[in-house]
Structure 1
Amino acid sequence: MKLWPYDGSCDATTSIAEGWRPHPINEFIFKIQTRCNLNCDYCYVYNLGDDSWKQAPAELSDELVDAAAARIRSHAMRHGLPSVAVSIHGGEPLLRGISRIENFVGRMKSGLAPVHVEISMQTNATLVTEQVAARLAELDIHVGVSLDGGEKSNSHRLDLGGKSSFARVVRGISNLSRFPGLVQGALAVIDLENDPADVYGTIKDLGFTSLDVLLPHGTWEALPVRKNPDRRLDAYAPYGDWLIELYRVWSTDESRIRLRLFDDIIHLLLGGEYSFESLGLAPAQLVTIESNGDIELVDSIGFTYDGAAATGANVMTHELDEVLTHPGVVCRQIGARALPEVCRSCPVLEVCGGGLISHRWDLLNGFKNQTVYCSDMKKIIDHIDTDVRGRVERADTAGVGAAG
């Protein structure tokens, strides 16, 4: 039996008849390196059951980089996209040295011209020397660093020998910080054992101006730590409670840094749109290019079951437009129609958007479920909504008083 979205529910022809129009791909994650020098126990690439990396080439070849650039350029020109975003991922992208990054960036920029390309890179920073940082700055690459907080909070991010990576990460961050504007932000995975104040304080003290926090990957078939199978909106919400405490710390900090999750929730509460897959209902316009040239869906979906991210397309043989009609792309572009009734009738639908698609998986309905973090998202969104409304009302009252 085929499960949603492969049961015909997200057929492109039917969706077009119902008013959907394909949105072009404008963001590309490139897996230029499939090996890593760390062994983070929560990593969806290596440690959550997806073994596809074992069969994948260790590196993305020059031939595939050139083919991908040509496909992206063709797609962008066809759809009138003046610019696209390319994010360099791994494994650890710097595992084979800065020369691999230089080669990739040069080929990508020359192959995409005249289409402008914004290039970013996600790294664990353990291999960032001052010379590497200087070259990254020259290449105009925006660097994101994966770090869960202080040394104790970073206990999941060990090297291949089981030793802490924290000191090496801090040294790499120090080297990156020598070049203003180079570091894009920190990316932290939530651990309920970690103190939100310590996580936030450490990231800020290290000089980051932006932080994004991620819910650890889990599904209804493999529940996250401390979650239970209760699907009610008011069910036990330990991650919601953790996020509320983080929000308290952040919102009362007069010199607070950007915290993307909270900033984006507020933006959506105030009527804005957001295109990242974990929030809101805007169409997803992202694909992943694997080291063998395969064009896949968002890479984090791969841990749910074998082949979950596959589209059957490859940069050597397929145009990107062919991927736009794949059910896995269609279902991430049709908004609320991709969600179950419990989501469509939820008061925070426009903000939550159903959560990250990979967190909705079960063996009965495929991906057409509420997120395993449903109660947590409802709790933190309601909390922020109440706080923002209160601040607006107090500001309005103060304004009236001043005017009087």
Structure 2
Amino acid sequence: MQALRDRGWQPFPFTEFVLKIHSRCNLACDYCYMYEMADQGWRQQPKVISPQVIEATCRNIAEHVDEHTIPQVSVVLHGGEPLLAGHQVVESVARRLHEHLADRTTLRLGIQTNGLLLDQEFLDIFRRWGIRVGVSLDGSEVGHDRHRRYRSGEGSHAQVVEKLKLLTEPENRSLYSGLLCVIDLENDPMETYAGLSACEPPAIDFLMPHGNWDQPPPGRTANRDDTPYADWLIPLFDYWYESTRNEPSVRIFEDIIDISLGFGRASETVGSAPMQVVVIETDGQIEQVDTLKSAFPDATKLGEHVSRSPLSNALWNPSIVARQLGLEALSPACLKCPIHNICGGGHFTHRYQSATGFLNPSVYCPDLFALISHVTRRLRSDLDVSRRNGSAR
């Protein structure tokens, strides 16, 4: 760390804040990194964020904005299931964030929900404070209900789809940010895409199930010739890329294309741009991104709290620095790879192995290589055709 300071390296300020407003959920999804994997810290968390933590969080973010002259910040209300916090808490959080930040920076608010508690009162709150809504949906009824069930075992698909109709009404359409779908290899990709598209999302975010080298995700083996997740995504990409219809934005495809073209866009899954995200738990603890809970207990801990520490204290934590070093933080194997500038080593969480920490390629390395290679081949082919046609004219 001292070597970085000596050469003048400075961390990048946080610009995206994931604010946990409720620590429990009304579903029991069997793949959930929060409740079903290594870290069970949620059991010690207060169920609902308190007014004191809300106030300390808003004040701390405002001070961070002032200290670093940040032109725009995003705050995502999260859980658990954030709507379990209730209308009054959601309204209070949004109001206090606006009161502290609206005159300092451009504030973008969002919420990620399973959608089951959406109602007109929540939508009125979202419209009043400009909160955009992302909903988790795993495609068709069969695919969704295989994992996203109530504790009784009953599936939740029918109820989610019914609630999504509220977001497609003309007066609510601007609030609808998109759908988040966890890939299940047992589900047909085109059937999954059709189920998602039927809900008229402006965007779809396909996520690979969280896993690592110690706990590989479903279908991912040590055989580097196997590319089950790329095999699932590539037909979808070809359909989406070739479509003449107005298809939803698909984040992983657009990110690969943008980075390939030199636009520098990055996400958790691909790219090497510094990650500027921090999580604030319901008890006020300042933590790393919560997907790290899938790796080992306390993987997210930074030892900071919103009522006692400025957010800038966390910027020099080694685990935060590792997310901001870009290509410097990649393993030797990644640096030898011809697509490492696009891949960026994959999702940081997916690199974990107990013997070597996070200095590894992603457990999805073969899939990422196959998918990115396919996308870039198609892109280069079309660009070559376009250049030839331009020269001919």
* TM class by smaller structure: over 0.9
CA deviations 1:164-202 (Å, max 9, x no partner) are: 101110111001222121100100000001111112112
CA deviations 1:93-152 (Å, max 9, x no partner) are: 111322221111011111224223210000111111234323322221010010110101
Alignment of 1:387-402 (within 5 A): 387-401=378-392
Gaps of 5+ in 2: none
Runs of 4+ in 1 over 4 A off after TM superposition: none
Alignment of 1:26-41 (within 5 A): 26-41=15-30
Q: One-letter code of the match for 1:312?
A: G
1:367 aligns with 2:358: yes
Q: One-letter code of the match for 2:201?
A: F
Alignment of 1:43-62 (within 5 A): 43-62=32-51
Alpha-carbon contact 2:30-2:148 (below 8 Å) kept: yes
Q: One-letter code of the match for 1:167?
A: A
1:202 aligns with 2:204: no
CA distance in 1: counterparts of 2:372 and 2:8, whole angstroms: 30
1:284 alignment partner, one of 266, 271, 275:
275
CA distance in 2: counterparts of 1:47 and 1:135, whole angstroms: 32
Q: One-letter code of the match for 2:124?
A: A
Match of 1:23 in 2: 12
CA deviations 1:273-315 (Å, max 9, x no partner) are: 1242321111110100001100001111122111100000000
Alpha-carbon contact 1:73-1:113 (below 8 Å) kept: no
CA distance in 1: counterparts of 2:298 and 2:50, whole angstroms: 22
Give the 3 Å change call, closer, same or farther, for CA 113–399 of structure 1 in structure 2.
Answer: closer
Q: One-letter code of the match for 1:49?
A: A
CA deviations 1:43-85 (Å, max 9, x no partner) are: 1001113210000000111101110111111111011112211
> What is the aligned residue count?
388
Alpha-carbon contact 2:255-2:266 (below 8 Å) kept: no
Q: One-letter code of the match for 1:310?
A: K
The range that moved more, 56-65 or 89-98, is: 89-98
Q: Secondary structure at the match of 2:142?
A: coil
Match of 2:116 in 1: 126
Alpha-carbon contact 1:20-1:334 (below 8 Å) kept: no
Alpha-carbon contact 2:87-2:121 (below 8 Å) kept: no
CA deviations 1:298-345 (Å, max 9, x no partner) are: 111122111100000000110111101000110011111111111011
Alpha-carbon contact 1:219-1:360 (below 8 Å) kept: yes
Alpha-carbon contact 1:32-1:88 (below 8 Å) kept: yes
Match of 2:82 in 1: 93
Q: Secondary structure at the match of 1:251?
A: helix
CA distance in 2: counterparts of 1:398 and 1:197, whole angstroms: 33
Match of 1:6 in 2: none
The range that moved more, 221-230 or 56-65, is: 221-230
Alpha-carbon contact 2:37-2:293 (below 8 Å) kept: no
CA deviations 1:210-232 (Å, max 9, x no partner) are: 101001001100011111124x5
**Identity, % of aligned pairs?**
37
1:377 offset after TM fit, Å?
A: 0.2
2:207 alignment partner, one of 210, 214, 227:
214
Match of 2:227 in 1: 237
CA distance in 1: counterparts of 2:167 and 2:102, whole angstroms: 28
Gaps of 5+ in 1: 1-10
CA distance in 1: counterparts of 2:116 and 2:28, whole angstroms: 13
CA distance in 2: counterparts of 1:335 and 1:399, whole angstroms: 36
Alpha-carbon contact 1:27-1:287 (below 8 Å) kept: yes
Match of 1:249 in 2: 239
